[in-house]
Amino acid sequence: MYIQLYDVMRETLKIPKYLLIKQYLKEHILSGSWLEGVPVPSENELAQRFLVSRMTARRALKELDDAGLLVRKPGLGSFVAKRSIPPLTLEVVDQVVAMRGKGGYTIEVLEKGVSVAKKMIEKNMGVNPTQQLYCAVFRHSLFERPIQLQRLYVNPQLVPAFLKQNFNKVAAQDYLAWISPPSKTDCSISAVIASDDQRNYWAFEDDNHGACLQLSHVSGCGDQVLSLSIAVIHLQIIIWAMTYL
Which residues belong to CATH 1.10.10.10 in the chain? 2-80
SS3 58: helix
| Residue-level pLDDT at 207 | 47
Which phi and psi angles does 53 have, rounded to 5°?
-80, 160
Span 164-174, mean pLDDT? Answer: 84
Span 68-75, mean pLDDT? Answer: 91
Under a CB-based contact definition with an 8 Å cutoff, are residues 231 and 94 in contact? yes
- Residue 174: enclosing H or E segment and its boundaries? helix 172-179
Top CATH class of 95-241 equals alpha beta
Q: How far, in whole angstroms, is CA 92 from its chain's centroid?
A: 16
Which residues belong to CATH 3.40.1410.10 in the chain? 95-241
Q: How confident is the model at residue 47 (pLDDT cuts 50, 70, 90)?
A: very high
Top CATH class of 2-80 equals mainly alpha
Q: Is the dihedral of CA 168, 164, 219, 214 positive or negative?
A: negative
- Count of H-run helices and E-run strands, the chain: 9, 8
Span 54-76, mean pLDDT? Answer: 92
